[in-house]
Structure 1
Amino acid sequence: MAQWKAQQAAKRPKMARLATNDRLREYVQDRLAGSVRRVDGGIVVGPEPPAWKGLNKPHRQDRRWVTAWSPEQISHRLKVDFPDDESMRISHEAIYQSLFIQGRGALKRELVTCLRTGRALRRPRARAQNRPQGHVTADVVFSERPAEAADRAVPGHWEGDLIIGTGRSAIGTIVERKSRSTLLVHLPRLEGYGEILPVKNGPALGGYGAVAMSAALSASMTKLPEQLRKTLTWDRGKELSAHAQFALETGTKVFFADPHSPWQRPTNENTNGLLRQYFSKGTDPSRWSAEDLEAVALALNNRPRKSLDWKTPAEVFAEQLRSLQQPGVASTG
C-alpha cells in the first residue's frame, strides 16, 4: 500500500493544490493581497502599483500598498485556523511556486508585488550555483600556493589586480612581494569600442577581457628574468580566466585569492592605494599611454619604504637582479 501511494504521488503532471481547492486558494489569495484598513473597516487607498517589471526587482516604493502576509505566515496560520481540516494545508514553497512558475498559475502573478521582497522572480538554484568563478579550479586556489611565497624570503612572487576607472577602463597592477617593485600593465580599449553594439559572448572591447588581459600581462612579465616570475596571486576576477595560457607563455604559476579576502594580497592592495594618488577614482585611466604608466611606476618605485628600511623598491629589485647575475647562482624558475 505504501508503494502504491508513493507511485500515485509521483505521477506527473500534477495539479497544484491551490488549483484544485477553491477554499484554500481564496484563503491564501486574500491574505497575500491584504489591504490597509482603518479602525472602522474602511480601506485606505494607496498609490497605484507600477507596470509589471518582468525579472527586475521593484524598488521599495513600488511595492503594493498592502499589509500582506508572507507565504510562511499563511502556511503556519492554516494549522491554527483549521486544526482539524487536513485539506487546508499547504507549504510556503508551494505558494511561491504558484506565484512564480508559469503553468501552475493558481494565483495571480500580480500578487508578487505584495511580497515583502517585491522580487518578481525567484533565482533558480542552478543559477545560484553557477557563480562567475568557474575559472578557479582546485589547483589554483590560494591554499595551493607554495609556502615560500608567504614569507617574502625568496624573490619572484607577485600579486596583481586591476584599478578600474570610468567607462569600463582599467590598469593592471602587479607587485613583487619581496622588493615591493611595481609594474603597470597598459590595457587600451580595443578597436570598435563605443562604435558598435556589444555582441553577446563576443570579445570584451573595454581592454581587460580574458584574451587582452592575458596578452598584456604576458608582455609585461616576459621582460623579467625567469627566476623573478615564479608565481602570481590574483583576485577572483574573470579578467584572468585565461590563466592557463598565461602560465604556459611565461612560466608563472597563477593562484587566486579566496573570495572577499583582500588581505591575501596585502602588498598589491597597499600599492593600489598609493596609485590612487595618480589615478583618482572617477577618472578614465585608458587615456594614459604605456609610456605614461611606465613613468608613474618609475616614480612609485623610487619612493623609499619603511618596510624596506627606507630603501626604494627599485634599489631592492636591482639587488635581486645583481644576485641572479652572480656566477654560481642556480636558476630556480
Structure 2
Amino acid sequence: MNKLLLDSFSFKSSVNYIIAMVVTAMVISFIDSQLPQGVSVGEAYAILVLIGLMSKDSKMIIAGGLAGTVLTLEGFYVSDHEVAMWIVWTNRLLAIFLIWVVAAFSLAQVQYLKEQEESERMKEAYKLLSQETNYSTLLKDIAILSNSSDPVEEALKQAMQKICQFKEWPVAHIYIKKADEDLLRSSKVWILEDWEKFKEFKAETEATDFRPGVGLPGRVLSNQKVSSIKDLSKDSNFPRAEIALKNGLRSGFAFPIFIGRRIIAVVEFYSKELLEEDAKLIEFTETLGLLLGRPFERDHAGLRKEEYENHLRRLYSRMKAVREEEGTIENSDIHDNLR
C-alpha cells in the first residue's frame, strides 16, 4: 500500500515538472520569435534543465537539454533576418553550449545526490546490522545466564545489569507475582546506577504492590505483554510519577517473565531520556521473557524435588519402623515358643 502511494506521488510530481517544462519552453519560444535573429534568448532554455534538476531525474535533465537545443535552433528560422549570419549562429551555438554546460553540472549534482542517498542507506543498513548483532550477542549472553546453575536472584541481577548497560538505563527492578492471587510485590532485586540518588524511588517501589492494570507493572500483568511509558509526566496511570520525576526518571519500560503461559514476574526499567518506540526492543524482550523464566522454573523444580525427597525419607522411616516392630513381635513369639 505504501509503495503504491509513493509511486502515485512520484508520478504526479513528474507530471507537474513536465507541465512546468512545457509552459516555460512555450513562453521562452514565443519571446525568442519576437526578437531579431541577432538577439538570442536561447540561454533562457537552460531553465528547462534546471527544472529537470529540481525533479532529481537525469532523464528529465537530458530531456530539458534536448528541448532547449531544438527550440534554440528553431528560433533561427522564426526570427527576423536582420543581422549577419555568423553573429546569429555564434549566439545560437553559445546558447546551446550554455544549456549543455548547465545540463552537465545538473547531471553531476543528481549523481552526487544519489551517491549521498546511497551512502545514507548504507549507513542505516550498517546501523541496523550492528544493532542486530548487539541484540543477538546480548540475547546469547542472557541465554547462557538463564541456563546456568546460579541462584535465580543472581541470574536475574546479571541479566538486568547487562540490559541496563546495553540500553544505558539507570534503574531496573523486578516484581514477583503472588502464587495465589493477581498481585505484584517487590522482589527487592535492583540494579541502580546511583543507590543514593534513587533511594526514595526504591523505597516507594518496595512499599507498593500492583494489581492488574494499575501502573506500568500492572499493565504488563493485565495485558501479558511488553508495555512502556514514553513520558512519565504525562501518564495519569503511574502512581510513582512524582517521586520518579523528582529522581530524574522520564520514561519507563517493562516486560513479563513467563513459565509456560503463566506470568510469574514483571521486570521494569526506567530511563533518564524519553524513549522512542523500538520494534526490535519489543521483539527482543518478548524472547527475554521466556528465557528468564528458566531460572524460576529450575527453582520451582528444585523445590518439588526437595519435597519429593522428604516424602521418600518419611516413607522410608515409616517402613523401617514397621520392620522393627515386626521384628520385635517375631522375636517375642520365638521366645514364647522356647518357653
Q: TM-score range by the shorter chain?
A: under 0.3
TM-score normalised by length of structure 1: 0.22
TM-score normalised by length of structure 2: 0.22
Q: Which has the larger radius of gyration?
A: 2
More helix by share: 2
